[in-house]
Amino acid sequence: MNKVKKNKEYDENLLKLEEEFINDFIKLRKDKHLTQEELARRANVIRLTITRIENLVTSPQLDTLIKILEPIGYTVKIVPIKKKKNTED
């Protein structure tokens, strides 16, 4: 597999993981019956920060991620990524 194709697949996988994460985040926020405004207030960030993250306009920095997860009762944890077996490696 050539380098360009590997980089493209890496980028696509990264985007997929980020999209899944943000979808989970939105669901958790809504399950807690929090508006973007209320979450922003509790996390001490501006609402636009939440909006931009949820719309995949920007990726949050780690400190921001920790701040916005805490009010909904979550934090960041490093876990292994489940990978599909690839026969091309």
Q: Which domains does the chain have, with CATH numbers?
A: 3-72 (1.10.260.40)
pLDDT tens digits, one per residue of 5-58: 667 787 888 899 999 999 999 999 999 999 999 999 999 999 999 999 999 999
Classify each residue of 15-33 as buried b or exposed e, where b means 16 or more C-beta atoms within 10 Å of its C-beta. Answer: eeeeeeebeebeeebeeee
Could you give the dihedral angle defined by the CA atoms of residues 40, 41, 43 and 45, in that order, rounded to the nearest 10 degrees?
60
Angstrom distances, CA of residue 46 to CA of 26, 41, 63: 16, 7, 14
pLDDT score at 89? 45
